[in-house]
Amino acid sequence: MAEDLERVKKRVEELREEIRKHDYYYYVLNQPIISDAEYDRLFRELQELEEKYPELITPDSPTQRVGAPPAEEFAPVHHAIPMLSLQNCFTQEEFLEWDRRVRRLLGGERPVYVCEPKLDGLSVELMYEDGVFTVGSTRGDGYVGEDVTRNLRTIRQLPLKLLPLDGRVPRLLEVRGEVYMEKEAFRRLNREREERGEPPFANPRNAAAGSLRQLDPSITAGRPLKLFCYALGRVEGLEIKTQEELLTLLARLGFPVNPLWRRCEGPEEVFEFYRELLERRGDLPYEADGCVVKVNDFSQRELLGEVSRAPRWAIAFKFPAEEATTRVLDIVVQVGRTGALTPVAILEPVEVSGVTVSRATLHNEDEVKRKDVRIGDWVVVRRAGEVIPEVVKSIPERRTGKEREFRMPARCPACGGPVVRPPGEVAHRCENLSCPARIKESIRHFASRRAADIEGLGEKLVDQLVEKGLVRRISDLYRLTKEELAALERMGEKSAQNLLEQLERSKGMSLARFIYALGIRYVGEHTAEVLAERFGSLEELANASYEELVEIPEIGPRIAQSIVDFFASEDNRRLIAELAALGIAPRSEAKPPEEKPLSGKTFVFTGRLSGLSREEARRLVESRGGRVASSVSRKVDYVVVGEEPGSKLARARELGIPILSEREFRELLGG
Ligand code: IVH
């Protein structure tokens, strides 16, 4: 038996090594060397072995990136070496001034610089002890940050274990870097949030910060965070003398390092780097707000030291702001597909980093109030990396007294129906299902690129189709005739024919796209994919109960209720039957949920367990498909009581939740 376990242990370690290597190729180098299927096989084999032998699970196992239970608060982490901030400069003049001071302090020597893009995210410190990731923290105030280890673990680029250098790893290594979100991922996240009626994040930086500082790591795990490393804290057992050496070494140890860094000899080369980066700025997948210029040589850095919490050996050379000031000519209200009313500022056109902006979203009424934006105001507008322009703030100092406050209309501007604001929501809504603005938006959504992808069914055409009464619901699209289409403005035989072909082609869309295209509230692309995979057909989904839906890990109560409501509607059921009759009924391969002995069961622990730690107990529950919660509520199935239990025991009694002793708990687990 013992021999058996040894063999399993060896295999588990082999698998981890192998998976770590492929994670590095895939997530850090962006160059996978095996197929996804092969990777999945390795990963599943490891998961199965760990399930069978939970005692072999270690925190650095690739399976342990997700699944930690929510925390009640973040513990403080002291940074042994403070995490400083950077001084800024905005012009070549200012940079030259900084360079002159550096040279003077170095006794006339000309330092070599290393330039790196300055990413707009949030900085973190990652501690590795004997090559294993142990603690990760935010910068905080520079001296004390927050322990976000479990959230950082979910970032696939972050090495849980270092790749050895010549067979060795440093005793202690604190690496610093930036956690960020790419622009595309940010846009997608915001789209999903808006669909769910949640307030969107203002910019990728806020989205990254909000995602990392989540008490529930499973939320972080669902957010596409990325990492670049660029600096050091404490180091033991490794000697590094320059920034160049550091960046090369970090990459070899398995850290993601931004490949755009460059060695620059003197200010001219720095300016060239800056210009090139500024030019590429729009094409970069992430937002960069400047470049960081650092003295390469660490011994020179020591001579230079620091002032007022910023080093003298580095400076952030910032790009010009993507902001401009202009006037608000009007505030209009747009009606979305779900009936949500969005105030939009109509602006006197203004150029913001090369693009003319004449409209900017104000999100909702609360935002208008918070920013105190009035019609006629001067405002600051920002265009953050191709995101929809937004009004940052008003400039009350420039008011003349003629400005008018904005009021959400009591009636829908499109159909005249009543406007309501459901309790607990930020958005006002038009509740009229046949509101033409809503119909237009739902048809546009259905036809959009990520949904049914019907090319040629543009905004103007949808307007005409709805206004002429040719289309009242999605199914009407598939009944349009060539004659009807050709008779519309700006349409001819040819474009009518093309559109019919596009419509025909769209009948073959995937089930996930179809679910997304229906425009069920709170169901974004990702949720649609999850649902398609779980149910395999629309019919199955339509018949799913609320209970079945909330059982799915990524489906919360609000989404589940919205899906149930959608399919409970007679109208929607008819629409789906019509679509099926027209030949649109995509299917996918459904995967039934994996059943494990404790699937769907939630445990709470209180008091000290004698034979195992809390962490071990949690792993035992999770490896059998169960969950561990931190507080007692009606949703909890068992409360496990150790020595000197806390108030949770009383609460469990109050709610009549089954109480288990440690022995009973072990029995339940199967010995
Ligand atoms: S070095 C003491 N390098 O900018 C210098 N910082 O404004 C430590 N940042 O807190 C920072 N990209 O969050 C460095 N390539 C880069 C950076 C970078 C972004 C952030 C970092 C820092 C802030 C200072």
For residue 132, give the CATH number of its domain: 3.30.470.30
Band of residue 193 on the pLDDT scale cut at 50, 70, 90:
confident
Spacing of C-alpha 37 from chain mean position: 25
Work out which ligand 1 atom sits closest to the CA atom of 121: 13
Helix or strand or coil: residue 15?
helix
450 found inside a domain: yes
Work out which ligand 1 atom sits closest to the CA atom of 116: 15
Pocket of ligand 1, beta carbon within 6 A:
84-86, 116, 118-119, 123, 139, 178, 230-231, 292, 311, 314, 316
650 and 546 in a common domain = no
Q: How far is the CA of 585 from the centre of ligand 1 (A)?
A: 51
**Residue 159 and residue 133: Cα distance in Å, rounded?**
7
228 and 92 in a common domain = yes
Q: What is the pLDDT of residue 448?
A: 92
**Which range is most confident: 183-187, 308-312, 342-346, 663-667?**
342-346
225 found inside a domain: yes
314 and 185 in a common domain = yes
Q: What is the pLDDT of residue 484?
A: 93
- Average pLDDT, integer, range 642-655: 87
Last residue of a domain, one of 318, 347, 362: 318
Span 86-127, pLDDT tens digits: 998 989 999 999 999 999 999 999 999 999 999 988 999 999
CATH code for the domain of 341: 2.40.50.140
Burial of 320 (0-12, 13-18, 19+ CB in 10 A): exposed
**Residue 327 and residue 516: Cα distance in Å, rounded?**
38
Whether residue 221 is predicted with pLDDT greater than 90 in this model: the reply is no
- Give yes or no: 371 in active site: no
Catalytic residue among 52, 118, 369, 371: 118
331 and 303 in a common domain = no
* Axis-axis angle for helices 36-52, 2-23 (nearest 10): 150
152 found inside a domain: yes
Residue of the CA atom closest to atom 12 of ligand 1: 118
517 and 445 in a common domain = yes
Q: How many domains, the chain?
A: 5
Question: What is the per-residue DSSP string for 328-361?
Answer: EEEEEEEE-TTSEEEEEEEEEEEEETTEEEEEEE
503 found inside a domain: yes
420 found inside a domain: yes
Q: What is the pLDDT of residue 95?
A: 96
Q: How far is the CA of 86 from the centre of ligand 1 (A)?
A: 7
Residue of 178, 287, 301 to mutate, ligand 1, most atoms within 8 A of C-beta: 178
- Give the alpha-carbon dihedral of 349, 351, 354, 359, to 10 degrees: -40
Mean pLDDT, the chain, integer? 89
448 and 304 in a common domain = no
- Average pLDDT, integer, range 396-423: 93
CB 652, CB 639: distance < 8 Å: yes
- Give the alpha-carbon dihedral of 358, 361, 362, 365, to 10 degrees: 120
Residue of the CA atom closest to atom 23 of ligand 1: 85
Q: How far is the CA of 219 from the centre of ligand 1 (A)?
A: 26
Work out which ligand 1 atom sits closest to the CA atom of 258: 15
216 found inside a domain: yes
165 and 311 in a common domain = yes
Q: How far is the CA of 16 from the centre of ligand 1 (A)?
A: 32
Whether residue 238 is predicted with pLDDT greater than 60 in this model: the reply is yes
191 and 146 in a common domain = yes
- Average pLDDT, integer, range 271-284: 91
Q: How far is the CA of 84 from the centre of ligand 1 (A)?
A: 8
Q: Which residues constitute the domain of residue 514?
A: 436-581
Work out which ligand 1 atom sits closest to the CA atom of 178: 13
Q: How many residues does the chain have?
A: 671
Span 551-564, pLDDT tens digits: 887 788 888 999 99
Burial of 75 (0-12, 13-18, 19+ CB in 10 A): exposed
348 and 291 in a common domain = no
Helices marked H in 140-182 — which ranges? 149-153
310 and 212 in a common domain = yes
Q: What are φ and ψ of residue 589, in 5° steps?
A: -80, 115
Q: What is the pLDDT of residue 610?
A: 82
Q: What is the pLDDT of residue 70?
A: 59
Span 477-494, pLDDT tens digits: 999 999 999 999 889 899
**Residue 408 and residue 640: Cα distance in Å, rounded?**
52
Question: What is the per-residue DSSP string for 438-463?
Answer: HHHHHHHHHHSTTTT--TT--HHHHH
Q: What is the pLDDT of residue 478?
A: 96
Helix or strand or coil: residue 291?
strand
311 and 341 in a common domain = no
**Residue 289 and residue 481: Cα distance in Å, rounded?**
52
86 found inside a domain: yes
Q: What are φ and ψ of residue 142, in 5° steps?
A: 100, -30
Q: What are φ and ψ of residue 43, in 5° steps?
A: -65, -40
Return all residues near 120 (Cβ < 8 A) that are at least 6 apart.
Answer: 180, 203, 204, 205, 286, 287, 288, 289
Q: How far is the CA of 269 from the centre of ligand 1 (A)?
A: 20
CA-to-CA separations, 467 to 445, 461, 462, 546, 644, in angstroms, rounded:
17, 10, 8, 37, 71
Determine the longest span between alpha carbons in the chain, in angstroms. Answer: 86
392 found inside a domain: yes
Residue of 90, 115, 123 to mutate, ligand 1, most atoms within 8 A of C-beta: 123
Residue of 255, 261, 292 to mutate, ligand 1, most atoms within 8 A of C-beta: 292
Whether residue 353 is predicted with pLDDT greater than 70 in this model: the reply is no
CA-to-CA separations, 132 to 165, 171, 199, 227, in angstroms, rounded:
14, 10, 38, 17
CATH code for the domain of 464: 1.10.150.20
Work out which ligand 1 atom sits closest to the CA atom of 311: 2
**Residue 540 and residue 50: Cα distance in Å, rounded?**
33
633 and 534 in a common domain = no
**Residue 521 and residue 196: Cα distance in Å, rounded?**
6
Strand partners of residue 117:
291
